Structure 1
Amino acid sequence: MSKKALLVIIFSLVLTNCVTIAFLVSAYTREAQKEKNDEIVAKIGNSRITRQEWLNELENRFGKTTLEEMINIQVVDELAKKNHIDVDEKTVEREIQMYKISSQSYGDSVFNDKELRKQIRYSILLEELLTKDVNISENELKKFYEENKHQYIMNDTYHLSHIVVDSKKEVQQIINELKDGSSFEGIAAERSKDQLTAKEGGDLGYVSEGSSDVPPEYIEQAKTMKVNEWSGPIPLERGYAIIFLHEKIKGEQLEFDEVKDQIRRQIALEQMEGNVSAKQLWDDIGVTWFYEK
């Protein structure tokens, strides 16, 4: 047998083996996927809910909205690159601080910094894209700033959690437990008398001086604290409290040059009719999706 013929036979055998292996792997993958889809995720008496039934229900309820949000993010990102629109970190950071100060939110509604940063950046890019062709004079921008200057005053703000109990003795017990490594959130959830925040680990969100959402004693105490520090006992009208300082934001008066781009977007968006959405930009880049079927 010639060397060439032998190589042909060997190549044919190798190709056959590769095809066979690929078929077996594919069959195994399909079988594994089927087993995963048939996996029981809940049992209710004699009834069962499979993973596939669960996923189908999630898609029916949230699939369209979730896919639309994913498309919107991609559309904004692509069009921003195409139009050479970018957002510097200083602008993102400033708007994050403004959001935190104005949100007064707590618990699950407090974004982690990474997620908040992504959302703020997306919002700014979307607004820039929607308003890029709108021209507003410098005089009009300055007029708006002077008339709404109070909106750009950032007071000292504190992200706090608290635990409220009946006696000073209980607070001291809690402080000892914290020193021994116990979790502030865990103790708040189990023992705080403030039921509204207890379920959120005692989280009060971001509060500023003069806020009616917390006792003034909290703010006075927070001024003297370091980040990631808990306080001593704080007397209240009913009982005692201990607070934990997550973050401290130093207040400032934002100058016109720092916020004029934000003002321009705000005025331009107010002039637009209808809902403001990234979906308005889909035709600019060309979008086709599953729900057009």
Structure 2
Amino acid sequence: MKKYEVLRAVVILQAVCMVVLTVVVVVKVWPGNDRLPNSSPHTNVGSEEEKDDPVKPGQSPGADSSLQTDKQRVIAKVGAEEITLDDLEQELHKQYGDAVLRTLMVHKAIDLEAAASELSVSAEEQSRELEKMVEGYDSEARFYEVMQEQVGMTKEQVLEDLRYRLLMEKIVVRSINVSDEEVDRYIADHPEEFDARTQLHLQWILTETSKEANSVLGLLTGGEDFATLARTYSIDSFTADSGGDIGLIDEDDPYYNREMLDTASRLQVAEMAGPIKVDGGYAIIRLIERQTTTKMTGRRLHDAVRKQLALERADSFPNLEDALLDKYDAVKTE
């Protein structure tokens, strides 16, 4: 079944997290907006700098000049060239501003539509969906660690994005009718989709000879980085640049060497094995992660299939989001 949650989380929120992360960095580097570099912690009221600042009607003394000074603060130097806080903000806005603004507007529109239609996401629904996202990780805590490391999302951001996705799905599928007969027929025609299965996330280094593979294995045993050695020694041009990352493959994938998959299935995460004779040479493999899905049955299976079929019949999410924004007269004011 399609894993909408993974694709949507990575694609939509990566830009949001980039902006949030940058703001955090700015705050950590410059903890007080009222301090200039090399200034004392306390600014004397009535200093020469403050006296020279004009006060606009309805504005507190020094407010405009303080903001302007902060914007022009030099936050980095490259040779004689300076980069100011204003330069950073403008570049962030140029690269990510539209995407972040659209996400915020869509979230507001979803909230309005959910309230108008009396739709909500229960704790049980969110927990059940989270279980599917966590499948294959050692623990829920490890899942959140990976999300933080790979896409910069905190636990709170993951859960918030999940809630909005589930709300949007409810908005989308409510007007699409899928009969019980259609659900039963789909389950009967696609039993393999709902069986429990294991997928292996592997890296490999492919060499021409067994001697070369053993030499590389010796370097790995000595503490060398797997990805670095893959880029240097692997003859597989499709994976070498990505550190030998093959990606997720089924434990019984018929397109991969049977001995290699059998060996990989016995490995613990981060363990290596090889050399293994495969088509094209000799492989050294490393297990990155193992993902195991559970078999769905009963009402949960029928509900999942019904939602999947409805989503497949629905318009694309960007078009549906546009329609929702139009319904609530969403416009940019600047």
User: Same-fold call, TM > 0.5?
Assistant: yes
Of the three residues 131, 136, 160, the one matched with 2:202 is 160
In structure 2, C-alpha distance between the alignment counterparts of 1:237 and 1:269, rounded to whole Å: 40
Matches within 5 A, 1:1-293: 23-24=61-62, 27-36=65-74, 56=90, 59-60=93-94, 63-73=97-107, 75-76=109-110, 83-86=119-122, 87-94=125-132, 112=150, 122-134=164-176, 136-211=178-253, 214-250=256-292, 252-272=294-314, 276-282=319-325, 286=328, 288-290=330-332
Q: CA deviation at 1:162?
A: 0.5
Q: CA deviation at 1:170?
A: 2.8
Q: Do 1:36 and 1:51's aligned partners in 2 also have CA atoms closer than 8 Å?
A: yes
In structure 1, C-alpha distance between the alignment counterparts of 2:183 and 2:98, rounded to whole Å: 39
1:113–1:35 distance in 2 versus 1, CA, 3 Å = closer
Which deviates more, 244-253 or 77-86?
77-86
In structure 1, C-alpha distance between the alignment counterparts of 2:316 and 2:226, rounded to whole Å: 46
In structure 2, C-alpha distance between the alignment counterparts of 1:122 and 1:42, rounded to whole Å: 46
Aligned residues: 261
By percentage of residues, which structure has more helix? 1
Which deviates more, 257-266 or 196-205?
257-266
1:8: which partner in 2? none
TM-score (norm 1): 0.68
In structure 2, C-alpha distance between the alignment counterparts of 1:77 and 1:180, rounded to whole Å: 55
Q: CA deviation at 1:97?
A: 5.2
1:145–1:232 distance in 2 versus 1, CA, 3 Å = same
Q: Do 1:92 and 1:117's aligned partners in 2 also have CA atoms closer than 8 Å?
A: no
Which deviates more, 244-253 or 190-199?
244-253
SS of the residue corresponding to residue 205 of structure 2 reads: strand
Gapped regions of structure 2 (runs ≥ 5): 1-44, 52-59, 137-148
1:35–1:117 distance in 2 versus 1, CA, 3 Å = closer
Q: CA deviation at 1:174?
A: 2.7
Q: Do 1:156 and 1:208's aligned partners in 2 also have CA atoms closer than 8 Å?
A: yes
Q: Do 1:157 and 1:207's aligned partners in 2 also have CA atoms closer than 8 Å?
A: yes
In structure 1, C-alpha distance between the alignment counterparts of 2:163 and 2:261, rounded to whole Å: 31
SS of the residue corresponding to residue 89 of structure 1 reads: helix
Q: CA deviation at 1:68?
A: 1.1
1:106: which partner in 2? none
Q: Do 2:73 and 2:84's aligned partners in 1 also have CA atoms closer than 8 Å?
A: no
Query: Taking every aligned residue pair, what percent have the same amino acid on both sides?
Result: 22
Q: Do 2:172 and 2:314's aligned partners in 1 also have CA atoms closer than 8 Å?
A: no
SS of the residue corresponding to residue 224 of structure 2 reads: coil
2:56: which partner in 1? none
Q: Do 2:194 and 2:296's aligned partners in 1 also have CA atoms closer than 8 Å?
A: yes
1:232–1:268 distance in 2 versus 1, CA, 3 Å = closer
Which deviates more, 87-96 or 20-29?
20-29
1:265–1:151 distance in 2 versus 1, CA, 3 Å = same
Q: Do 2:207 and 2:281's aligned partners in 1 also have CA atoms closer than 8 Å?
A: yes
SS of the residue corresponding to residue 160 of structure 1 reads: strand
Q: Do 2:121 and 2:163's aligned partners in 1 also have CA atoms closer than 8 Å?
A: no
Let me know the Cα RMSD of the aligned residues.
4.3
Opposite residue 184 of structure 2, the aligned amino acid is K
In structure 1, C-alpha distance between the alignment counterparts of 2:281 and 2:107, rounded to whole Å: 48
Question: How far does the alpha carbon of each residue in 1:53-101 deviate from its partner, in whole angstroms, 9 at most, with x for none?
Answer: 7865664565333421343345446766862224333333325659xxx
